[in-house]
Structure 1
Amino acid sequence: MSNTGRGRLRSQLLQLVATASSLAALVAVLDPDRIASAMGIFLVGVNGYSQFYAIYVGVRLATAMLALLAARQGDQPILGDLTALFLLAQPAGRLVAAFAIGLPKGVLLAVCAVELVAGMSLLALRPRGKFLSP
């Protein structure tokens, strides 16, 4: 596949990541208790909600903005790489937790699989000949 074709696919995937991350943040804002419950989190007090919003809204919106910027700045592959690292950091953290307490279950396992596939796909679609280039 040519760099142009790879770039187009990578840009589309980045746009999909931006959309999914934005929607995830919106849903977390609209119904934090339901989302927290689905993720196995019990929100307690101001600090619990603050931490939830920091991760499930703040980090998701930052990921969305980075993905959107990367999709528009195709000549700067590092932005897409950073987006991939944001996505892959989550399953990496879950892998650490898996050694201590086991793999996630249900919807969280599916979310983990999507994060892993999306992050690895972004890295696989990186333009050839651009290793370590901005």
Structure 2
Amino acid sequence: MNSKICIFSFIFTFCLSFFLIAQDNPKLDVKDLTDKQLETLDKDVSLDDFQKLELYDIYMESNKKIKSAIDKGTDATELRFMIENNDREIDSKLKEILLPEQFEKYIKIKRERAINGEKNKTTKKKKKKNDNHN
């Protein structure tokens, strides 16, 4: 149950950050985002060239869908649902493309980031609340 909460928190954080980035930068470049995602994944699990090629297309397609929804003015709830579904689809495709060791490492890192992301959000809220009281 705890791992489900962690994964949901990570997905929610990813959704929210993607949405906020897109709002702050209406000319968000899907190619740049895709490159950054691949670069991060490569640093995390050391992709080979074949994996990079396959994953580039997957991330690009996913990012285009999300960018299109943002450009159309999709409401936040629907957008979050869409991003969560895309995230599950990507994980499913990653499981097929990555080696078992790479996928296990990816899931472990994803969980750690979800936990740390939630801790960071809580810390920032407490700090902001304390700053407002002073």
TM-score (norm 1): 0.39
When the two structures are superposed, what TM-score results if normalisation uses the length of structure 2?
Answer: 0.39
